[in-house]
Amino acid sequence: MRKGGPTWCEQGVANEVFVSLSSSAVILENGTPILWAQTASQVTELPMHDGILVPDPWNYLHRMSLYRLMIAATDPFMGSMGTNATDSPLWGLPLQLGWMLTSGRLADPTGATTCGLEAEPMCISTQSWWACVNYFASVLPFLSAAQQGFMGAGAQVQMQVPAGVQDYCTTYADCKAKYPDAMSKWDAFFQGLKTTSESLLPDDVKKDTILGVYWDAQMASTDASAACNPRQSHYSPVEVSFAHSWLNSAEYVAAARFQTNMEKAVLFLTPLPSRILQEGDSAPNIADLTAEENHTLYIFSWMKTIDSLLGGTLVRLWKGAMCSVNTRQKGAQVLEQLLLNPSFATSTFLSIISEMTTSC
């Protein structure tokens, strides 16, 4: 992955990716995110030009490398998350990127190029709404991590960008100017990670504190990714509705300060739809999706519909109920039941929120 572009064999990669596209979306490969073994394990493996790191976030392996490097750099400060090497909440991000790849969501939705298709399997399209939203959850935190010294003293980073593409920030200063809130929140996360881990607080409080600043940064990136909205016009109304529901679900996960370690993230990502949704798809009755995928789509849609009918009250109630370490832990368990247990009634979810709110 040195200057001149990636050095991986992409034909073998193409075969792997396109086998997976023919069935349910694949989340793990040999116990790690998709193609993890082919990503950079050291900052020095990224391309460099004149002493500046110049990764290409429009190449899947480069973008996945950003996650691998961030996880490695922050792991020494994640002891409060647990004893496993995969307990960091950052693991949810590379797993999510892998789902986007295998479900076809990183490919060019306009059909104007072969980016992301069999001819260019590692290409991430600048026209993909999903890839654009993920840019804010990969490039922005990496630039912040480098600025805060996690990639080595004085590391400078300049993201590559395809010719003619102008609406993506590429340096820390550029992103800070365009998206000050998101970059400030990521800075606070990386700074807080060090100070909290070194404090004398009990581990459960450390964990809750770190997850709090992490989700603040994640949601700030999500808010900034509204810049991607024009790209939604490339998709069917059904896919756009799912995209909105997917974003809406993050409000609940963030408020509960959910620990998106590898184990939990796999549970939540596996039942996501394994292909882009088309006109006519109607959950829970989409024939070529699994029962689990249909259930997840149905629940996502239900949560967003109820919240819309209540004028945003459901999200506000939920956030109000997530007022302590204890209620946030309960909230995380309730979300797991709602999304993963088809027998868990939606009415039960509503009654539990009411109960939890009274304890705040």
Tell me: do 139 and 38 sit in the same domain. yes
Q: Given 170, 202, 229, which residue is the final one in a domain?
A: 229
Tell me: do 260 and 336 sit in the same domain. yes
Tell me: do 248 and 213 sit in the same domain. no
C-alpha distance from residue 98 to each of 95, 161, 217, 293 (Å):
5, 21, 21, 17
Tell me: do 246 and 218 sit in the same domain. no
Tell me: do 77 and 111 sit in the same domain. yes
- What would the DSSP string read from start to end of 35-95? TGGGS-SSGGGS-EETTEE---TTBHHHHHHHHHHHHHHHGGG-GGG-SSTT-SGGGHHHH
Tell me: do 56 and 140 sit in the same domain. yes
Q: Given 169, 203, 229, which residue is the final one in a domain?
A: 229
Q: Is residue 292 part of a domain?
A: yes
Task: From first to last of the 360 residues of the chain, give the pLDDT tens digit.
Answer: 434 444 444 444 544 454 444 456 689 999 999 999 999 999 999 999 999 999 999 999 999 999 999 999 999 999 999 999 999 999 999 999 999 999 999 999 999 999 999 999 999 999 999 999 999 999 999 999 999 999 999 999 999 999 989 999 999 999 999 999 999 999 999 999 999 999 999 999 999 999 999 999 999 999 999 999 999 999 999 999 999 999 999 999 999 999 999 999 999 999 999 999 999 999 999 999 999 999 999 999 999 889 888 888 899 999 999 999 999 999 999 999 998 888 887 888 888 888 888 888
Q: Which domain holds residue 210?
A: 29-229
Tell me: do 92 and 197 sit in the same domain. yes
Single-letter residue type at 47: P
SS3 assignment, position 115: strand
* Count of domains observed in the chain: 2
Report the 10 Å Cβ neighbour count for 333.
11
Residue 116 to residue 118: CA distance in whole angstroms: 7
